[in-house]
Structure 1
Amino acid sequence: MTTLLIVEDELKTGICLKQGLEEAGYEVTLVNDGRQGLEHILQQHYDLIILDVMLPSLEGWEILQQMRMARHEEPVLFLTAKDNVSDKIKGLDLGADDYLLKPFDFAELLARVRTLLRRNRVLSSVMYEVADLVMDVPRRSVTRSGRKIHLSSKEFVLLELLLQRQGEILPRNLISSLVWNINFECDTNVIDVAIRRLRSKIDDDYSPKLIHTVRGIGYVLEIREE
């Protein structure tokens, strides 16, 4: 059975979420303390984590940062009352997969849960190779020059998109739509932050550089003569 972890300190919200998701067929664990939530994450595997930002003892930001540092790449859906771009950028930079603002409609939350689970389970027989970069999709593995590169689930999807459309210039709004299923405002730098984080892992210490900026448009993955 698909397992979900909810870390939510608002008791009524947590109980309603747990009941609704269990009725939808999921096995759900609910905790209302940030530190307890992190302990659950580090001790066992969940298919999806629903994480509040403001929590007692340990905030959602810190939980996400520590789980990613510990190589836990489960998809994370943030629940937050904070509706500003800087918070979205912060969460994406730490490795969040999606956001839902409070108050929310349960039907929308359920749809987002299903989408994240579906994306995380998609396995294909595709293997991509560009220069010395190799992505093995079924094994969720990425290497460069034979060295394993650890990516978050969202970084993996972003790199897979760039590899799928190698040589094609991808506008920022298209990337945000296909990877995050969110239409970011054109004057935000959410996609730039995500690309910079990905570059730091697959390009900074290697040559040739693979991800290139197309000024005023977006990004492209290709081998260019240096």
Structure 2
Amino acid sequence: MYESRDGESITDSPYAIFKYMLNHKDFKQYKHIWSVQDFNTLSDVIDKYKNYPNVKFVQRNSKKYLKYLITSEYLINNSTFQSFFIPKANQKYINTWHGTPLKNMGFDIPGDPSHSQNVLRNFLSTDYILSPNSHTTKIFTTSYKLEGLYEGTIIEEGYPRIDLTLNTNPESFTKYLRDLNVIVEKGKKNILYAPTWKGTSVSRVENNILQIIADIKYLKKKSWKQI
């Protein structure tokens, strides 16, 4: 069972793991369950897999969601499961997290430390936490005070989402972008501008659209040498 950002997206490392397993002969017998908050918002992704008999999408917090949450053998999340859920002894919980933290996290955040209690509870419930680098591992162990408490394993080997990026066929992805009416010119360098998300909903990119437009206008005014 996969959940990305409280069911608001089907992306990131959970999606990379799902895509790899779905297309690998060694995992053909697996059934894949996705937690979804809003089916309309994620319809484009869901439609890609509607004809796969071993892929299901369930409404987050529905009875089916709860059923799969307590019966799935593997749980994969890039954030946190809700505070009412604790994995059973026969379940394996893998937390992929969602980036390299370059800001205060956990108990380093000024103010009430209880704001981090569900993140800490989730970390302590995992069997494996994925870390992309030593800095992130240190954040997990010190900022969330896992050292001496955590009985699972932190795997410092990078993120599946980066593997997916590096192993994606450029030609097929270029075609996908063109199908979305994105202008991609052959023989011309393309720069991907991907700022960290700062909106109010990860499934609604327009939350942050004015800031992104302002940034692009600023870049257009500057020469690359100045940048």
Task: Tell me if both proteins adopt one fold, taking TM over 0.5 as the criterion.
Answer: no
Choose 1 or 2 for highest CA Rg: 2
Query: Looking at both structures, which has the greater relative contact order when contacts are Cα pairs under 8 Å and sequence separation is at least 6?
Result: 2
TM superposition score normalised by structure 2:
0.33
Report the structure, 1 or 2, having the larger strand content: 1
| TM-score scaled by length of structure 1 | 0.33
